Amino acid sequence: MAADQQTVSVIVPNYNYEKTLGACLDAVFAQTHRPYEVIVVDDGSTDRSREIAARYPCRVVSGGGNRGVSAARNLGAREARGEILFFVDSDVALRPDAIANALAVMAADPECGCVHGTYDTRPLYDDGPIEHYKVLHAHWWRRRSVGRVNTAIFALAAVRRSAFLAAGPFHEGLRDAEDVEYSDRLARVTGIRLTDTVVGRHDDCAGFRAMLREQYRRSLPLAAFAGAHRMRSGSVAVNPALGVLTAPLVLATLPLALAHPALLAVPLACFGLFLLADPGLLPFVRRERGLGFLAWFVGVHLVAQLAIVAGVAAGFSARLRGAGTPRPLTLAEGR
């Protein structure tokens, strides 16, 4: 079937995103390829989300309490009737050609059953420099990985219904890193492409403490399966291992300079390796925001890596104590 004739079900999982849900749905209904249906899965919101969604010609279904994004996506997939499931988070506003471009990528590569996209370099709402850091970094690591990959990120992603059913549902025991776990199953049944032609503007967290808490929380499950995933060919690395490992070494080796000034070379060398860990990132940030912002970006990025290390360490400790990640659901259990 031609790309422009395929039926697309747009699935929007939502929990308390009254700030952005309207912009998200405005963008969905402005697509050049008109969706067959739009399903908003409300995951127990306590704000005005359901009222906002009711203003649009979409179906609003309830997940029966706050069960997490995986459960919301699974419910949306069960309700959907389209040949293509297009997942978009409720804090993302797609460019008008996003769905059409996703279908075109699939049509050009028949072995590809999943296409996911990139964030714009501009946030959906400008809430300050922390959000600029988050959005720029999120855009960069996607852009450097464009092509055939073995990782799918479902913040803005299209997947053939047949591929979704073959891979099984999202792991409802995970509220973070669910994309990584799901990618391992999806890559066994279909090809995955990351493209820079499917783009959306994202409203990210804007506070420094909130950003660190998010980095820490999202890193907790990584000890269970992300290490093995990163070793596979085609996996998408958000933060290269060299940067994550050298960030704590910068701080750990600073006291050496107190013992002897010449030993300052050790933390400086670690810092140099940290800066070189993700080639292209710093020149990209400088082009986008200038030299002054770049210096600030580097400082925030260093602290963010420390939060990741702390989260992975805490997750590994929990795993050793027997409090590891729960097993994935079977397809029958996901229903």
In order of their start, the domains of the chain are 3-205 (3.90.550.10)
Report whether 43 contacts 14 (CB < 8 A).
yes
Given the structure tokens 């049944």, which residue do they identify? 189
- Helix segments in the chain, DSSP class H: 18-28, 49-53, 69-79, 98-108, 129-143, 161-167, 178-186, 208-219, 222-231, 241-253, 256-259, 265-276, 281-289, 291-320, 331-334
* Of 161, 137, 150, 283, nearest in space to 211 by CA: 137
Instruction: Write down the pLDDT at residue 63.
Output: 82
Instruction: Write down the pLDDT at residue 333.
Output: 39
Blockwise average pLDDT, block size 10, the chain, 335 residues: 83 98 99 98 96 97 90 97 98 99 97 98 97 98 96 97 96 86 94 98 95 92 62 77 95 93 96 96 98 97 96 86 51 36
Euclidean distance between CA atoms 314 and 155, whole angstroms: 26
- For residue 67, give every residue at least 6 positions away whose Cβ sits within 8 Å of its Cβ, in sequence order, or none: 43, 44, 172
DSSP per-residue codes, 292-303: HHHHHHHHHHHH
Given the structure tokens 């075109």, which residue do they identify? 104
